[in-house]
Each structure stands twice: as structure tokens, then as C-alpha cells.
Amino acid sequence: MHIVIIGNGIAGITAARHIRKLSDHRITVISGETDHFFSRTALMYIYMGHMRFEDTKPYEDWFWEKNRIELVNGWVVKVDTKTKKLHFDDNREITYDKLLIASGSKSNKFNWPGQDLDGVQGLYSFQDLEAMEHYSEGLKRAVIVGGGLIGIEMAEMFHTRHIPVTFLVRESSFWNVVLPPEESQMVTRHILEHGIDLRLDTELKEIWGDKAGRRAKMVVTNKSEKINCGFVGLTAGVSPNIDFLHFGEIELGKGVLVNEFLETNIPDVYAAGDCVQLRNPKPGRRPTEAVWYVGRMMGETVAYNICGEKVAYDPGIWFNSAKFFDIEYQVYGDIKPELPENQSTLYWEHPGGRMSVRINWDKSSGAVVGFNLMGVRYRQEVCEKWIRQDVHIEEVLQNLGLANFDPEFYKEYEQEVVALYNQQTGKSLALRQRRGLTNVLKFLKAAIPS
């Protein structure tokens, strides 16, 4: 059986690796982006000089031949599901027995005048990185549009090369559609502290080109401000990369529509990763989630289904991580920008304004439902166990040291978090456990007291 995978990102490559573990089927991976799989989340570090491209490849180049995974460089422009044939832009064709679509995302555009000028782009692909490198030569100012994670990465990239950045964010505080108010304000302050020209409550109206009408020269905002620039970063989110599937038989919504087994409406055609839209997502989860770990989990799940072993996709407890310049961010579980009426929250912030711990719990049962961390690292497996087993907030607080994953020589702040809870409730809780791998392993093996 010939299994063909469109896309060599985390979803496609995870699927290929697990299909090889599960079977002896012929596997072909198609990508026009790069010859070999690389870590997309490391693109910014290539630009910043922290890594070389070859350092971002998790596997040596010989890995693919050794594991009998064929690599094809090219762009698929049409999928003919009736003949099980893929058509390339250079008129090549490949037939398949089973097909996995793992084509990832593309940067959003919202029909802004001038959005197709040279020097106007997002940051998703390796080609985007190459173009960004090209336009950085002699660049006097960059304008970034959109207050999300890609935007903050792009701002940091330019900042490391001392290229001035103007950041247009339509919200009143950075990423307040995701972060609670205190954390959003912390990130906003941090961006300003780095000398970024952050324009809140500001949207892009249009982009003007140079006299030749080719290269971006200026942006105009919804406030009629005119900002000279030589580069415009469009970072207002991403959307499924499925244009090449239009006018075919595969059913599409915003993404490739799939069931819980990551099957499309066409037999022997599957989809995984950023390009997917789940028909029936789990409660609290979105139909499309362009997150690295989602792609990895989907890749493993779809491999089993392609190989004939029915396994439903289960994303588990929500988590994510990111970095806002020097502030690391982690979230586990249910942390919404506005506190739901049925939840209570404990928010501790360090006086320096760059670290915080937030824990949310259900008012009626006391069960912890989520953790939000800025500048402090907590162990995912510990937090998820507490959430999964509905552990009471006071039991969590007394054992909070077990979650701490900061380096051993870093100061611990769990005592301050517990003291704040005591101050607010009149209780007298005390820490029972402190960090340490031995204690953590014992905790993970033990049952939670009821």
C-alpha cells in the first residue's frame, strides 16, 4: 500500500514516523517548502542568529532513506480523489492508495489595499523567513499588524537587529482576547519597556507602495496616521492552507472537515494538523487549533487509523506555551480572558512585574480547572493530574512546590502564593511539598486523596 502525505510539518512527519513503526507500507512525503522537516517554531532563532537552519532539523538527512520514507519536493495543485492521483504545478503526477493532508496554515490577509506589495508578508514558512531576511537589508522601520504570538516573535526578531518597530494592535491591551487583564497588562508593559512603538486600539487601513508601485513604503491606520516603513508584517493570525483543495470532492469548511478518526468524507483520505476542522470538537476546544502539540497528537492518532487501527483523536487538557521577549508563558486547562461566574481565581504577581501565577477553580466544588503562568515554569504532568482528577484548590496549594519546574538555583514563590490565599480567605495553609524529581515521581505514581 502506498501512503502519500502532503506536508512535512509536525503533523505529517509524526504520522510518517508512526506509520513506519506500525507497518511496512510505502510512505511518500511531499513538500515544496523545504527538502527536510525542520522545527517551525525555531524560525525566529535562525533570523536572530541563535541557530543555523541545520540546527533546526530534528533528524539527520540520512534518517529518511534509512527509514524508507520517500521525500518529494513540489507543490500539489489538485487532488483527484476519483483516480487517487495528485497533480503538481510542474505537471508531475503521483498516485496513492491512502492520502493524508497535512498542509498546515497560511498567514491571514483581510483585503487590505496594498497587501500584495513587495515587503508585505506573514511569518509561517521557511520562504517567509528568507523574504524577511531579504527585506531587512537597510530597513529603516518595520510595521507589524496584529497582536498575537507571531507578531511578538517578529517584533523581537527585528528588535535584535536594532530595526525600529511599530506594532499595530486593535485591542486596548496586548492579547487581551486570550490573556486575563493582569497578564495582558504585564505583557503590554514589557513590550513598551523594550522600546517597541506599540499602538493600541489601532488598525491597519491600507498600505501604500513606492513610486513604482511595487515595494511597501507607508501604512495608513484607521486613525489616519501615516507611518513610513519598508516592511509590513501581517500577523493577524493564520488559517488552514487548503486553497489547492477547492473545487474537488473533499468537503471543506474553514479547514478540511474530519470526524474523530481524522477521516474526511472521501474514503482513504485523512487530514491532520493546522489544516483540520473537526466536525465535533471536544467541549471547550475549537474546531481548528493551529498549535504545535495538536499537530503532533493528530499525527500520531491518524497513523493508527491509516494503518487500520481505529483510534479517536483526544486532545486532552488544553495547554500552550510562548515567549513575550523575556517573559515565558504557560497555560494549562481552562483560563479565559474573563473569569466565568462559576469560577474563582487566585492571582499572585511578583513586585517586579514580570512573573505571576494564576490558579482558577470551580466555586461549587473547589476543583482546580486551570493554571496561567508568566515567568514561572510549572510541570505539565503535575498540573494536568490535578485538573484531570478535580483536586481541591487547597490540596493543590499545599503541594504547589511539586509543580515548580524552574532551575534548582531559581527562587521559589509558592510560599508567597499560599500566603496570598491565606490572606484572602483567613485560612492557614502551609506548603507540604517542595520541588524535587523524587517527590514529583512519587506524586505522579500515587493516587490523589479524595
Is the Cβ–Cβ distance between 187 and 327 less than 8 Å?
Answer: yes
Asked if residue 231 and residue 247 are part of one domain, the reply reads no
Asked if residue 226 and residue 247 are part of one domain, the reply reads no
Q: How far apart are CA 422 and CA 339, in angstroms?
A: 21
In a domain, 113, yes or no: no
Number of domains in the chain: 3
Which of 218, 236, 254 is where one domain is finished? 236
Query: Phi then psi for 278, rounded to 5 degrees?
Result: -70, 135
Average pLDDT, the chain: 95
Question: CATH code at 329?
Answer: 3.30.390.30
Taking residues 176-184, report their average pLDDT. 97
Which of 213, 236, 259 is where one domain is finished? 236
User: In which band, very low, low, confident or very high, does the pLDDT at 100 lie, cut at 50, 70 and 90?
Assistant: very high
Asked if residue 256 and residue 173 are part of one domain, the reply reads no
Query: Phi then psi for 423, rounded to 5 degrees?
Result: -65, -40
Asked if residue 250 and residue 189 are part of one domain, the reply reads no
CA geometry: angle 371, 377, 380, nearest 5 deg: 60
pTM of the predicted model, to two decimals?
0.93
In a domain, 313, yes or no: no
Which residue segment(s) compose the domain that 219 sits in? 120-236
Asked if residue 126 and residue 36 are part of one domain, the reply reads no
Question: CATH code at 53?
Answer: 3.50.50.60
Is the Cβ–Cβ distance between 436 and 442 less than 8 Å?
Answer: no
Report pLDDT for 441: 73
Decide if pLDDT at 48 tops 60. yes
User: In which band, very low, low, confident or very high, does the pLDDT at 103 lie, cut at 50, 70 and 90?
Assistant: very high
Q: How far apart are CA 71 and CA 309, in angstroms?
A: 25
Taking residues 62-71, report their average pLDDT. 97
Beta bridge partners of 349: 356
In a domain, 138, yes or no: yes
User: In which band, very low, low, confident or very high, does the pLDDT at 393 lie, cut at 50, 70 and 90?
Assistant: very high
Decide if pLDDT at 312 tops 70. yes
Which of 211, 236, 261 is where one domain is finished? 236
Asked if residue 292 and residue 438 are part of one domain, the reply reads no
Alpha helices by DSSP H, 276-360: 292-306
